Amino acid sequence: DIVMTQSPLSLPVTPGEPASISCRSSQSLLKGGYNYLDWYLQKPGQSPQLLVYLGSIRALGVPDRFSGSGSGTEFTLKISRVEAEDVGVYYCLQVLETPFTFGAGTNVEIK
Amino acid sequence: QITLKESGPTLVKPTQALTLTCSFSGFSLRSAGVGVVWIRQPPGKALEWLALIYWNGDKRYSPSLQNRLTLTEDTSTNQVLLTLTNMDPMDTATYFCAHFSTMVTTGYFGYWGQGILVTVSS
């Protein structure tokens, strides 16, 4: 199985400040020029929602303050200016091969 | 508009089997590049992928649970059923189904159900 390692697991943030979450995979997620890595946000009491797919493509309706980058085994999700509505748990997910595997999650909270 | 909704029992006893239904609309499970996945989340813990059924009927299961998991589909009613046998208190979790877009240039769970909390207790 591909192991996904996220860091940090907890991230206190100040509104208006940037934030960054890292995700590392135990093997490359790059295939045919595409990185099969997604980012999801699970707001409190809600189902997860897709933020970014293929490593760097924002999903429809996702604000442009969210950006995904990276390739191979190292990926980053950045929030350029955190807003109060961005609190929740962020997960990376590899969809290169089954079993699909999630990271442990990063809990983003307002300081 | 794509929607999914999970249904089934919210309380099961240890050793019993759990069958959950994912009822969906807005897409066909016979369309190329489409799948339905099941994911679960124990209270306060991370997401765990369980199973996937592709548009062509191919099925994949979590290796740690594949001896206990079965997916079935009913294309006439747009439902996917997940059966998990020999339930244990460790299987207490919120179970989600989601639409999986699986073309070369996609690969994501774009739409999720609201989830159903299943508690395993005697």
Q: What DSSP letter does each residue of chain B carry, written as one string?
A: --EEEEES-SEE-TT--EEEEEEEESS-TTSTTEEEEEEEE-TTS--EEEEEEETTS-EEE-TTTTTTEEEEEETTTTEEEEEE-S--GGG-EEEEEEEEE-STT--EEEEE---EEEEE--
Mean pLDDT of A36-49: 98
Chain B nearest-CA distance from A45, in A, is 10
B68 at the A interface (CB within 8 A)?
no
Q: Does the pLDDT of residue B104 top 80, yes or no?
A: no
Residue with tokens 């099961």: B12
CB distance B112 to B5 below 8 Å: no
Q: Is the pLDDT of residue B17 over 80?
A: yes
Q: Name which of B49, B102, B105 is nearest A34 (Cβ-Cβ).
A: B105
Tokens of A103: 């990271």
Mutate to test the interface with B, among A3, A42, A49, A98 (most CBs of B within 10 A): A98
**Percent of the residues in chain B that have a pLDDT greater than 90, as a whole number:** 93
* Phi, psi angle pair for A2, to nearest 5°: -80, 125
Decide if B1 touches A, using CB distance below 8 A: no
Tokens encoding A39? 């980012």
* Binary contact (A91, B62; C-beta < 8 A): no
Q: Chain-centre distance of CA A95, in angstroms? A: 13
Question: Inter-chain contact B109–A47, Cβ cutoff 8 Å?
Answer: no
Tell me which amino acid residue A34 is: Y
3-state secondary structure chain A: CCCEEEECCEEEECCCCCEEEEEEECCCCEECCEECEEEEEECCCCCCEEEEECCCEECCCCCCCEEEEEECCEEEEEECCCCHHHCEEEEEEECCCCCCEECCCEEEEEC
pLDDT at B109: 96
Q: Model confidence at A94, in pLDDT bands (50, 70, 90)?
A: very high
* B116: confidence class by pLDDT, cuts 50, 70, 90: very high
Average pLDDT value over all residues in chain B: 96
| Average pLDDT, integer, range A73-79 | 98
Distance CA A49, CA A8 (A): 20
User: Who has greater pLDDT, B116 or B102?
Assistant: B116
Q: Does A104 touch chain B (CB under 8 A)?
A: yes
Q: What's the pLDDT tens digit per position in B27-47?
A: 999 999 999 999 999 999 999
Radius of gyration of chain A (CA): 13
Q: Measured between CB atoms, which of A50, A104, A105 is closest to B108?
A: A50
**b/e per residue, B16-42, with b = 16+ CB within 10 A?**
eebebbbbbeebebeeeebbbbbbbbe
Q: Which of B2, B109, B111 to mutate to test the interface with A (most CBs of A within 10 A)?
A: B109
Cα A95 from Cα A101, distance rounded (Å): 7
Residue A102 to residue B122: CA distance in whole angstroms: 31
pLDDT score of B106? 83
The number of beta carbons lying within 10 Å of the beta carbon of residue A53 is 26
First-to-final CA distance of chain A: 36
Express each pLDDT in A12-42 by its tens digit.
999 999 999 999 999 999 999 999 999 999 9
Give the per-residue pLDDT at B103. 80
| Beta carbons of A48 and B60 less than 8 Å apart | no
Question: Average pLDDT of A47-73?
Answer: 97
Residues 9 through 48 of chain A touching chain B, CB cutoff 8 Å: 32, 34, 36, 38, 40, 42, 47-48
